[in-house]
Amino acid sequence: MKRSAFFISDGTGITAETLGQSLLAQFENITFNKFTRPYIDSVEKARAMVQQINNAADKDDVRPIIFDTIVNQDIREILATSNGFMIDIFSTFLAPLEQELSSHSSYSVGKSHSIGHNSNYMERIEAVNFALDNDDGARTHYYDKADIILVGVSRCGKTPTCLYMAMQFGIRAANYPLTEDDMERLQLP
């Protein structure tokens, strides 16, 4: 069986896609045509999105699954007119949280990826700078400041791995490329 699945957001779509993918992965016997649609932030874009969803429903002859993280109520209502099965992530989880916390949520776009109040932001930026400064054995005299040093042959993915660790976790990662000379000395700098 094959079904269309849409991850729709008025922001980047990362939250809708991540949660949606996690849930759909539980259904191994179904193949999904997955579509991420970020920045659906106007009535016009929402109406165009409804048309895409309805076209997929007609083509597949079954309702598409929709995961959305739309903040604007008017846009959510337009999406709800589509021929899809809609899972509104915010309304599903925010209403019970508001009740439990006795507080109203801000319903703001992009809060989960915001840097405004993130105390780890500067730490991650410094880690990214460290990874770039200590890339490919360029500045080995700072290795003592590294949280981790990746060692491997050239072109094996050390740099993107270091940058990923820096951006996601604030890890100060350096990397060193193995050469024939290193193999003869059996020693790193």
The domain segmentation of the chain, as residue ranges, is 2-101, 119-185
The pTM of this model reads 0.63
pLDDT value at residue 118: 62
Q: What does the chain come to in residues?
A: 189
Question: Which one has a higher pLDDT value, 42 or 136?
Answer: 42
- Considering the segment(s) 2-101 as one domain, its CATH architecture is 3-Layer(aba) Sandwich (3.40)
Closest CA to 131 of 98, 159, 156: 159
Greatest alpha-carbon span in the chain: 69
pLDDT digits (tens, 9 = 90+) for 45-93: 999 999 999 999 999 999 999 999 999 999 999 999 999 999 999 888 8
Which residue, 6, 128, 124, 120, is CA-closest to 56? Answer: 6
With a CB cutoff of 8 Å and minimum separation 6, the contacts of 166 are 124, 127, 128, 130, 131, 172, 173
- What is the per-residue pLDDT across 124-176, written as a single tens digit (0 to 9) for each? 889 999 999 999 888 888 999 999 999 999 889 999 999 999 988 899 999 99
What is the C-alpha radius of gyration for the chain, rounded to an integer number of angstroms? 23
Distance CA 185, CA 144 (A): 21
C-alpha to C-alpha distance for 141 and 187, rounded to whole angstroms: 15
Cα distances (Å, whole numbers) of residue 50 to 63, 67, 88: 12, 13, 15
